[in-house]
Chain A
Amino acid sequence: MTDFFSNLSITSNGFFVFVLVALGVYYLVPKKAQNYVLLIASYLFCLTWDWTFAVILFASSVVNYLVALIVDKTNDTAKTRWLWFGIAADVSALLFYKYFDQTSIYFFKALFRIGLTKELLTLELLQPIGISFYTLQAISYLVDVYRKQIPVNNSFVEVSLYLGYFPKLLAGPFERAQNFFNQLRADVQIDNAQLIESFTRIFVGLIRKLTISETIVRMIPFGVFVEPQKYSMPDLLFWWLTFAFVIYNDFAGYTSIARGVSGLFGIQLPPNFEQPFFSTSYIDFWNRWHISLSNWLRDYIYLPVSRAMLRRNPSGRYLPNLIVPPLVTMIVSGIWHGAAPHFILWGALNGLLQGYERVQKMFGKKSPAQPPRWKRVFNISVTIAVLILINAPFKFDFTQTLAFWGGLFRWGIIQTLSIHQIIKPVLAVGLSLLIDVMQLPGKDELGLLRLPKWARVFLLTIGLLLLFLSTRQAAVAPFIYQEF
C-alpha cells in the first residue's frame, strides 16, 4: 500500500486513485473549502516523494507570499530592493538544490587533477520535485506585482496553490499568476462536455507517454547513446530521430495528462505544445515547443534584454540587437535545463539559429505570406532536420556530442536496424504524427472530439487496446522533464 502511493508519477495507478479521492472530497466539501482541499492534496502529493520537498515548497510559498505583500506596500527604492531579495531567495534555493552538486563536481574534478583532493565530494542533495518550475513561477509573480501588472494576492492559500498545485507541480506547464488566481475564484459548473474534454486530454497524454514514448525508449539499443562512436551514420540517425519523438511525446504526454487532470477540478492549465514537428522556422519551433517556458523566457528575459539593447542603440537593423537577445534567452534556457556545459552549448546553438533567422528576415529576400505547399514541406523538413542535429548536446555531454556528430559522417556496418527492430519505433513515430495531424485544426489535444462518431469509436477502441498493452510492460520511465 505504501509503495502504491510512493513517488506518485502521473501515469501510476496510485496517482489516478489519488485524483479520484481528491475529486470526491473536492466536490463534496462546501465551496469555500475547495481551495483548501486542493492545497492539502498538493502537499500530500509532494509528501509521497519526500517530506523535505513539502517543507521546501512551503518555505518558498511563505517567502514569496510575504515578499510580494511587502513589494506592494513599500516605496520605489525599498520596493526594488525587496524584489531583488525575493528573486535572490528563489534563485538561491534553485542554485543550491539543483545546481550545487552538478557544478561542484567540476570544481572538485579540477582540484582532483592538480592533486589537492583525493575524492570528489558532493552533498548528494535530493532535487525537490518541481523546484525549477515553481521557482520561475514565483519570480514571475514577484515581478508582475512589482510592475503593478497584477494586484498582490492577500490569500496565502491561493499563492501556495499557484506554486504547488499538484497537476502542474512536477513539470509545469508554467501558468500566469493572475490567470490562475482568477480560475481559483471562478464559479464553474463541470458538465459532461468538460469531463469529456478532460478525459480526452488524459487519454491522448497516456497514449503519447505509454504507447509512443515508452515503446521507442524500450527499443533504443543501449550502446547507441552511450558510445555513439561505435555506431555508423544510419544507426545514429535513425535512433536519434526516433529519440526526438521520445522527448516530444514524453513531455507533450505529461502536459496533456496534467491539463486533463486539472480540468477535472475546473482549472484550465495553458498548452505547452502546438505540433512542433510542423514548424516552418526555428522561431516558429520555439513558439510551438514548451510554449509556457518560451513565453516566460520571452517576458522575463528576452524582452528586458531586447529593451536594454534598444536603449543603447535603437536601430532595428543593428546586428547585436537581432542576435544577442535570443542568444542570451536560449543560454538561460540551457542553464535552466542543467548546469552542465553541454546545456549551455545547446542553448547557445539554438539562440544563434534564432538570431540567424532574425537577421535573414531583416536583410534577406521577403518570402510570400502563404508559400506554396512544396515550399512549406521543404521548410518544415529543413527546420526539423537542423534542429534535431543541433540538439545533440541536450542529450549528450561534450565528448559524446562530438562523437555523435563525428558518427554522422561515418558510413560503417549497420548494427541495429534490422526489420524487427525498426517496426515498433516506425509505427510509434507514425502514431505520433497521426495524433499531430488530428490536432492540427484546433491546435489542441482535442482533435479526436472533432472527428465523426464512427472514427472516434474506431480510434478509441484501438487506443484503449494499445494503452492496455502498453501498461502491461515493465516499470514506466520517469518523465524526462521531471528531472529538470
Chain B
Amino acid sequence: MPHTHVDTGSALGIHKGKDVVCMSDVGFSYDGRPALEGVTLHVEQGTTLGIIGPNGGGKSTLLKLALGTMPPDKGTITIEGMSPKDACSKGNVVGYVPQRHTLDWSFPITVRQVVELGLYGKKGLFGRFNKADREKVAETLEAVGMSKLANQPIGGLSGGQQQRVFIARALVSTPRILFLDEPTTGIDQAAQESFAALLETVKAKYGLTIIMVSHNLRSVIATCDKVACLNRTLHYHDHPVRLSKDVLFKVFQCDMDAVIDPHTPDSCCGHDHALSPGHGHSH
C-alpha cells in the first residue's frame, strides 16, 4: 500500500521552520492485523494539526506511539529529536490531553490537585512543591478559566469543565507540544466553541505546537490550520478548506458534502462508518 508523505510546512508557500514531531514510515499491528502502515508525518513548530479519520482508523494508535506507550513495529518517531518516551518523561516537552472517559470522575480529588499532578514529570519521584509551583498551578487554572473551581471536587464538573481540567493538567508543566485525543467528544456545541477559543488563547500564550486527533470534522476545521486524514495510511494533507471530496470519501467511505461547507449542519461527524479496504484494527 503506497504511503503519502505529509509535509505540513509546504502548502501555502510558508517558510519551513523546525520540525518538532517526525514520523517516518511508521507501521503497527495488533496480533498481526495492521493498524498503521507507512505513516510519514512531519509537524512544523507552531502548527495546529488535526488528524481526522473514522473510528478504527488508527488515530489513537498513532497517539499512543507518539506518546511512547508502545514502540512502533516499523519506522521511527522523534519528538524534538528525542524518543517519545524521553520527551514525555522530561515534563516540559509534551503535554497530553486524553479522552475524558479515561478518568474516574468520582475519584475524591479536587481540580487543583489534578492539575498539580501535571508537574510530576518536572518534580520527579521525591519532588516536593514549592511556592513557584503553586503559583504556576494557579496561573494555569486562570488561563483555562477554572480558578473559581480550583477547590471543587472533580465529581461535580460539566463535560466542558472536565476538558479544561485536563488541558490545565497538560499545560501546567509548560510543554512545547500538546497532543489532544478526541477533545470535543461528548461536549455540547457551546462548549465546543468555547474549547476552540481556549485552544487559540493557550496556543498564543504558550507558543504551542498542537496535534489534535478527532473524528469531528467541524471541530477540526474550526480549530486547525493543517489537517491529515488517517485510515490506516495517511491519505491527506494541508489546509482543511482544501480537503477534496475524493480524499474525504476515501478516508471516511461516505459522502462528505455537508461537512465541507461549514455553514451546513454536519450530519456525518461522529458516525461510526463501516470500514473498508483501508480499515485498521479497532483500537
A and B pair up: no
Give residues in A with beta carbon < 8 Å to B: none
